[in-house]
Chains A and B, each alone.
Chain A
Amino acid sequence: MLLNLVVMVVFCLPAGGAASSGQLLSEPSPGVRGDIQIWSWNIAAASLEKLIPSFQERYPGVRISIDMNGSSVQSRFMLSLSAGVGAPDLSQLQAREAPRYALTGKLTDLTAVARKYERAFAPSFWDSCVQDGRIYSIPWDIGPCAVYYKRSLFTKYGIDPEAIETWEDYVAAGKTLLERSNGQTKMLCLALGGLSDFFEILLQQSGGQIFDAEGRIALYSNETLESLTVIKKIMDAGINANIFPWSFEYFASFKSNSIATYPMASWFGGLMRDYAPDTSGDWGVFRLPAFRAGGLRNSNLGGSVLVIPAQSTQKEAAWAFAEYAMCTPQAQLDQYRDFDLYPALLSTHQDPFFDEPVPFFGGQKVRRLFSLDIDKIQTMNRTTDWMEAVRYIAQALSKWTAGEREAPEIVLAALEEKLSRRLNRPVAPGSPSGKGRP
Chain B
Amino acid sequence: MNASLLHRIWAHRHFYLFISPFFLLFAVFGLYPLMFSFYLSFVQWDGLTPMTWVGLGNFQNMFHDEILLTSLWNTLIIGLLYVPPMFIGAFVFALLLNSAWLRCRGLFRAAFFLPVVTPMVVVAIVFGLLYGQEMGLLNYLAVKLGFARIPWIVSEEWSKISVSVLLVWRWTGYNMVLMLAGLQGISNEYYEAARIDGANAIQRMWHITIPLMRPVFIFCSIMSLIGTVYMFDEVFVMTQGGPGTSTTNFGLYLFNVSFTDFKFGYASSMAYTIAFFVFLASLLILRLRKSGTE
Do any CB atoms of chain A lie under 8 A from CB atoms of chain B in the complex? yes
Q: Are the CB atoms of B244 and A243 closer together than 8 Å? A: no
Which of A82, A249, A421 is close to B135, meaning CB atoms less than 8 Å apart?
A: A249
A423 vs B127: C-alpha distance when bound (angstroms): 36
Contacts A75-B259, A78-B262, A192-B154 given; indicate if A258 touches B134 (C-beta within 8 A). Answer: yes
B14 is an interface residue with CB less than 8 A from chain A: no
Q: In the complex the two chains form, is A8's CB within 8 Å of B51's CB?
A: yes
Instruction: Contact check, A243 vs B259: say whether CB atoms are below 8 A apart.
Output: no
In the assembled complex, the Cα of A395 lies from the Cα of B241 at a distance in Å of 11
Query: Does B101 reach chain A (CB closer than 8 Å)?
Result: no
Q: Chain B residues near A248 (CB, 8 Å)?
A: 132, 135
In the complex, how many angstroms separate the beta carbon of A166 from the nearest chain B beta carbon?
Answer: 28
Interface majority SS (helix, strand, loop, mixed), chain A:
helix
Binds A, one of B59-67, B168-176, B270-278: B59-67
Query: Number of residue pairs across A and B with beta carbons under 8 Å?
Result: 88
Query: What's the least CB distance linking B97 to chain A, in Å?
Result: 38
Number of interface residues of A (CB under 8 A): 41
Which of B64, B135, B154 is A191 in contact with, Cβ under 8 Å? Answer: B154
Which of chain A's residues have a CB closer than 8 A to the CB of B243? 191-194, 244, 398, 402
Contacts of B46 in A (CB 8 A): 104
| A395-B248 Cα distance, complex, nearest whole Å | 11
B51 to chain A: which residues have CB within 8 Å? 8, 11-12
Quick one: given A106-B48, A193-B243, A398-B244, are A249 and B64 in contact (CB under 8 Å)? no
Q: How far, in whole Å, are A249 and B131 apart by their CA atoms in the complex?
A: 11
A:246-299 near B, CB below 8 Å? 248-249, 252-253, 256, 258
B16 at the interface (CB under 8 A from A): no
Pair B49/A402 contact, Cβ less than 8 Å: no
Question: Given A105-B48, A421-B64, A11–B39 Cβ distance below 8 Å?
Answer: yes
A-B contact pairs, 25 of them (CB 8 A): A8-B51, A11-B39, A82-B262, A104-B46, A105-B49, A191-B154, A192-B155, A192-B243, A192-B244, A193-B156, A194-B243, A241-B134, A242-B154, A243-B133, A248-B132, A258-B134, A394-B244, A395-B244, A398-B156, A398-B243, A399-B244, A402-B155, A421-B64, A422-B65, A422-B66
Given contacts A74-B260, A193-B246, 14 further A-B contacts (CB under 8 A): A11-B36, A11-B40, A11-B51, A82-B48, A192-B244, A241-B134, A242-B133, A248-B132, A249-B134, A258-B134, A399-B245, A402-B156, A421-B64, A422-B64
